[in-house]
Amino acid sequence: MPRPKTSIPAAAVRVGSSRINGRGIYAAAPLPGRRKLGEITGCLVQLPGARKAIADSPKIYFVELDDQWALDCSDGGPFKHLNHSCEPNCYLRINRQRLEVYALRPIAAGAELTVDYGVTPHAGGMVCRCGAKGCRRIL
């Protein structure tokens, strides 16, 4: 994959209710592919102590950055509302403990932005409601 280019203004996204789960983040204008869209911000928390809190949490606002640190994204700005899809249009990139959001491909205005969460640390997994044709049904 080519090196991602510069970010676009954060104003090009909006937060709204999502049919996938709770609130979601949407393209407010057409977004170019393979660009940095923004970052999920938050507080660094040390593993493995944070894992218990993660497993008990009903929402995914923690992201493990490496084997020592996770990001508590409870106050993570609009991008914390990224929902999971089994066929996502965005991906996350960890860059020196920053959690960057990139578009996988051009995204139409009004489309919900999604990433593939991969395997979540939630106890017992979660049912997936992404609606994608290739949905794995469980997270």
Shortest approach of Zn ion to residue 137 CB, angstroms?
A: 6
Q: Give the separation between CA 50 and CA 23, rounded to whole angstroms.
A: 24
Rule CB under 5 A: say whether 135 interacts with Zn ion: yes
E-strand stretches of the chain = 13-17, 23-27, 36-40, 43-46, 62-64, 69-72, 83-84, 90-95, 98-103, 112-115
Mask of contacts with Zn ion, 14-53, x by CB under 5 A?
----------------------------------------
Rule CB under 5 A: say whether 60 interacts with Zn ion: no
Q: Give the separation between CA 2 and CA 24, rounded to whole angstroms.
A: 28
Total residues binding Zn ion (CB under 5 A): 4
Rule CB under 5 A: say whether 123 interacts with Zn ion: no
Residue position matching structure tokens 């491909």: 105
User: In the range 70-109, which residues lie near Zn ion by CB under 5 A?
Assistant: 86
Rule CB under 5 A: say whether 138 interacts with Zn ion: no
The two structure tokens encoding residue 107: 């995204």
Rule CB under 5 A: say whether 115 interacts with Zn ion: no
Rule CB under 5 A: say whether 130 interacts with Zn ion: yes
Contact footprint for Zn ion (CB under 5 A): 86, 128, 130, 135
